[in-house]
Amino acid sequence: MKSTILPIRSVIRICCLLMPALLAAQGLDPTNINKPLGSAEGWPTYGGDYSGKRFSSLKQLDRSTVKNLGLAWNTRLTAGSQTRRPGSAMITGGVGNMEATAAANVKGSILQVNGILYVSAPDNAWALDARDGHELWHYVWKTRGGTHIGNRGLAMWHNQLYMETPDDFLVCLDARTGKELWHKEIADFELQYFSTMAPIVIDNHLIIGTGNDLDEPGFIASLDPETGKEQWKFYTVPMKKGDPGLETWANLDAARHGGGNAWVPGSYDPETHLYIFGTGNPSPAYTTGTRGEGDNLFTCAVVAVNVETGKMAWWYQTSPHDTHDWDSAQTPVLIDAEFGGKMRKMVMQASRNGYFFTLDRLTGEHLVTGKFGEAVNWAKGINAKGQPVRDPAKDFHPAGSLVSSANQGATNWPPPAFNPATGLLYVPTQDSYAMYYLTELDPRGAMGLGGKEEVGLGTMRSYISAIDYKTGKTLWKHVYPALGGALGNGMLTTAGGLLFAGDVSGNIIGYDAANGKILWHAYLTNMVSNAPETYMLDGHQYLLVAAGDTVYSFMLH
Amino acid sequence: MMRTIPRILFAAILAALLFAVIALGQEAPFMASFPSHPKADAATVNRGKEAYKLNCAYCHGEDARGGENGGTNILRSDVVMKDQNGERLRAFLQNTGENGHVATREGVLKFNFTDAQAADLAAFMNDISAFIHDFRVSSRDPGRMRPPTILVGDAKAGERYFQAKCGSCHSATGDLKGIAGKITEPRTLQQTWLMPMVYGFRGFNPPADGPVKVAPPTVTVTMQNGQKLEGRLGRIDDFIVTMTLADGTPRTIHRDGDVPKVEVHDPMKPHKDLLPVYTDADIHNVTAYLATLK
């Protein structure tokens, strides 16, 4: 009789063959996101971990080995359901009849879980094999419209993936197959919301946020990740009588149309259960006839919300009564470090308005303000609370006012990075100017982004600012040689003493994080369009970055 | 000469458009559509207009954007934004509850419109707010009371400033002779003199000759053997400089830190250097002066 017992070698071989599938089947345990980046496998959430530091403890790549970093593979992605890759599953969903048919543009974080990459662009999600980049599945959402400006990435909880769509749905996919499990409307499309934020999983909470350019209130909400049922909703502006901050608006109607959208994911402090995020500009963005002359709370602020209750713990406004559309949505970065002779728990933000802030993250107490946007000219000084004081003459003028920065700001959504060894926050920065023309003399002003027309004078220079969190001073800059250009993209830093960032000419560059010395680079087919990421896979440290429609994977050989 | 005018205008417009894209972070959206609401016939809209004038305009203003008597801008109200055929509007106006018209402010009226009257009002609201429903992120709420002109400066003060700050490179009788006749739109004139050329990504194409001479950026590369290469700059980053030599030969030269020595000559540098120096009054005065050079 033939034995049915397999030889041990065969068992091992089968286990090895099945391992990727077994791992994929396990999905992502949400507790893994709590681990500092590099101490667990992969890149499981928007910032790699909750801190917003984008600092990996991996050291295989370091100042001496980075020169051996070489291309492992690259994969070009095509948006829409017209092109199906051989061997890949195509899944479609959605409530509309339009498809994104332009080239994909990856402008958000890419998740790496159990050797699978999860990539997104508006209305599109892909799963790629992290070892060679081949496409496993492609999901396409047929849209009813909305502003398709970008998608900042996906979230994952066990085997479920989540994507926000420009027409305001949260779509839940089976990460193993790309098949849709459910979708839920998260904002009112009739009110012209559009949704770009990468959702964030925190234990059994799924945090979502949306955007709007037409005078609607900003909010974040916590959903049950399994069903999408709402757990709580937090508005960033007063919505009823008695709400805090109402006294900073002309009236309740103004507050309820006051903006403050949550464009970019926040960071999370597991010890205090505080989700800390930045809010967008007040609405109308430029003319203030309806919103009054107050601070317009809680727009353009860093806000801490208890993730269990949805209640605000503290806030700090970085641009009181903003008049330039310079939202404070930039990633807050959480650090535990020495300050004033003792260890403190802090949060930093380099804001679009050109100013840097260090705060106590337990209380919101202001600690430091610095100016990193060198050309910025819209503020007259700093007040006692550390906030820049707006110069009304630099709002706009019927004959034009020369303002720096131009609309995009000194920095924008591309995430910064912080390296504990250097104590530096690395921020993509640009010096730009524009003429701001007032085009509405009606004292009631305009709605949305109206009332001002801006004609650009260009970017004078673009650079990386390396900012000391203790003083707010820029200790060094790397200025790109290009004569013009724009803002560079996001940052990654590592325990190997490295800083990675895309420049404004199409290079991905590796620097010495201590001094900005260039150690490695590669020229890509497009401008880098997201922040670089790193992880270990099969014993090799990888560097992953997107440039437009192409994902590039570099491996240390 | 006629054919040169569009070129400089084209260059200025191109520069403005280019920067508009830059200002959006290279994020010019390919699709930005929001719901449009049903269009009603003219008779329905007119009936709604009359009902609006009679019942609503006193508080909310003739254009529904808010009035002196305390009414809010109702074009952006949830009720109007979401209404299709008067169903929400009627319920809101008749409702005295938390979400009704009476509850929004003390002293306001409760209206008892019929379904047909509410539908007429909604048709009028949709008609006057149609542009909102076609709102795009790259567009603006169009100015209704636009400033009549941007020419508000003192031309004599502008002439003095021009002579002091610009006179070493430019002259009213030389390169800028008749400039205001060639660029007749004052805002374009202002943008053009402030920054005749805005640089883009990965190199650029300088505008051809025009009323304002815009020289291309050039570069001088001193090779390690002492040879000097000079030409029009293409792209420069930390690793490569590309250039076109005088005879049209393209050259791409590898850079390794400071080797070889690379000197970029940016014709826009004086314009860039003045940006932190100008006051807005300086700019308005110079524009007023240049506008006299017809």
More confidently predicted of B117 and A537: A537
Which residues numbered 262-291 in B keep a CB inside 8 Å of some CB on A?
264, 266, 268, 272, 275-276, 278, 280, 283-284, 287
Q: What is the largest CA-CA distance in chain B?
A: 91
The pLDDT score that the predictor gives to residue B64 is 87
DSSP-derived secondary structure for A259-311: B----S--EEETTTTEEEEE---BSSSS--TTT-SS--TTSSEEEEEETTT--
What would you report as the CA-atom Rg of chain B, rounded to the nearest whole angstrom? 29
Query: Rounded to whole angstroms, how far apart are CA atoms A333 and A102?
Result: 34
Q: Tell which of B13, B137, B265 to mutate to test the A interface (max A CBs under 10 Å).
A: B137
Quote the distance between the C-alpha of residue A251 and its chain's center: 32
The pLDDT score that the predictor gives to residue B141 is 79
A250-297 per-position pLDDT tens digit = 999 999 999 999 999 999 999 999 999 999 999 999 999 999 999 999
A148-186 per-position pLDDT tens digit = 889 999 999 999 999 999 999 999 999 999 999 999 999
Is residue A80's pLDDT more than 80? yes
Query: Rounded to whole angstroms, how far apart are CA atoms A354 and A429?
Result: 8
Pick from A65, A201, A375, A234: which is nearest to B272 by CA?
Answer: A375
Strand order in the sheet with A155-157: A155-157, A160-164, A169-174, A180-185
| DSSP character at residue A47 | T
Secondary structure class of A461 (helix, strand, coil): strand
B150 neighbourhood in chain A, CB within 8 Å: 398-400, 437
Bridge-based pairing of strands A491-494 and A55-56 is: parallel
Chain A: closest CA distance from residue B277 (Å) = 10
CA distances from A161 to A59, A228, A537 (A): 30, 12, 21
The CB density around residue B91, as the number of other CB atoms within 10 Å, is 16
Contact A305, A275 (CB under 8 A): yes
The pLDDT score that the predictor gives to residue A482 is 93
A107 neighbourhood in chain B, CB within 8 Å: 27
Query: Rounded to whole angstroms, how far apart are CA atoms A343 and A335?
Result: 10
Name the residue facing B150 among A145, A398, A486 (closest C-beta).
A398
The pLDDT score that the predictor gives to residue B121 is 87
Task: Give the mean model confidence (pLDDT) for residues A104-110.
Answer: 96
Burial (0-12, 13-18, 19+ Cβ within 10 Å), A423: middle
Respond yes or no on whether ipTM tops 0.85.
yes
Is residue B10's pLDDT more than 90? no
**8 Å CB contact of B19 and A448:** no
The pLDDT score that the predictor gives to residue B210 is 61
Q: Is the dihedral of CA B67, B70, B76, B79 positive or negative?
A: negative
Is residue B25's pLDDT more than 80? no
**8 Å CB contact of A213 and B200:** no
A27-42 per-position pLDDT tens digit = 999 988 999 999 988 9
**8 Å CB contact of A412 and B34:** no
B191 neighbourhood in chain A, CB within 8 Å: 435, 455, 457
Task: Give the mean model confidence (pLDDT) for residues A5-13.
Answer: 49
B42-65 per-position pLDDT tens digit = 899 899 999 999 999 999 998 888
Which neighbouring-strand residues pair with B26? none
B70-94 per-position pLDDT tens digit = 899 988 888 888 888 788 888 888 7
Is residue A474's pLDDT more than 60? yes
Question: DSSP strand E in A103-188: where?
Answer: 111-113, 116-121, 124-129, 135-142, 146-147, 155-157, 160-164, 169-174, 180-185
Which residues numbered 21-50 in B keep a CB inside 8 Å of some CB on A?
22-27, 29-35
More confidently predicted of A108 and B204: A108
DSSP-derived secondary structure for A414-440: S--EEETTTTEEEEEEEEEEEEEEE--
Chain A: closest CA distance from residue B31 (Å) = 6
- What CA dihedral angle connects B252, B253, B257 and B262, to 10 degrees? -90
The pLDDT score that the predictor gives to residue B39 is 77
User: Residue B215's pLDDT band (boundaries 50, 70, 90)?
Assistant: confident
pTM above 0.90, yes or no: yes
Which residues numbered 106-135 in B keep a CB inside 8 Å of some CB on A?
132, 135
User: Residue B213's pLDDT band (boundaries 50, 70, 90)?
Assistant: confident
Q: Tell which of B21, B24, B30, B264 to mutate to test the A interface (max A CBs under 10 Å).
A: B30
The pLDDT score that the predictor gives to residue B144 is 82
Determine what percent of chain A is predicted with pLDDT higher than 70: 95
Burial (0-12, 13-18, 19+ Cβ within 10 Å), A287: buried
Is residue A317's pLDDT more than 60? yes
Least trusted range by pLDDT, from A114-128, A287-301, B20-34, B185-199: B20-34
Question: Which amino acid does the sequence have at B91?
Answer: A
User: Residue A12's pLDDT band (boundaries 50, 70, 90)?
Assistant: very low
Is residue A243's pLDDT more than 70? yes
Pick from A206, A203, A205, A195: which is nearest to A162 by CA?
Answer: A206
B195 CB within 8 Å of a chain A CB: yes
Is residue A319's pLDDT more than 70? yes
The pLDDT score that the predictor gives to residue B17 is 35
CA distances from A11 to A23, A24, A328, A550 (A): 17, 20, 55, 39
The pLDDT score that the predictor gives to residue B94 is 76
A/B interface, count of CB pairs below 8 Å: 244
Chain A: closest CA distance from residue B117 (Å) = 23
* SS3 annotation, A335-348: EEEEECCEEEEEEE
